[in-house]
Amino acid sequence: MTHTNFAIRTYGKSEFALLMFPTIDDPKVAQAKLLRWIKKDKQFHQSLVGMGLSSHDKDYSPEQVRAMVEKFGAPGEYEI
């Protein structure tokens, strides 16, 4: 699936989560919701960890962003 309107690049965790959930104003709430989505699929979560995902990081790498966009769709491509 190609996501032509969404740039795959490094995103801050809050920045990406707020893009994924535009109706949520609180970055911490958006991040917690995205983390729940990620952890719902243990294999997917482990694949992100294998790409370097850590709770201590402040950013998602382009590789991690690409994986999440492929799994969940790009921001704006779905109804929340």
pLDDT tens readout for residues 15-72: 999 999 999 999 999 999 999 999 999 999 999 999 999 999 999 999 999 999 999 9
Sign for the pseudo-dihedral over CA of 48, 51, 57, 62: negative
10's tokens = 């490094």
Report the pLDDT value the prediction gives residue 13, as an integer from 0 to 100: 97
Amino acid at 8: I
Report the pLDDT value the prediction gives residue 78, as an integer from 0 to 100: 55
Domain map (residue ranges) of the chain:
11-72
Report the pLDDT value the prediction gives residue 80, as an integer from 0 to 100: 46
User: Could you write out the three-class secondary structure of 20-70?
Assistant: HCCCCCCHHHHHHHHHHHHHHCHHHHHHHHHCCCCCCCCEECHHHHHHHHH
Report the pLDDT value the prediction gives residue 4, as an integer from 0 to 100: 58
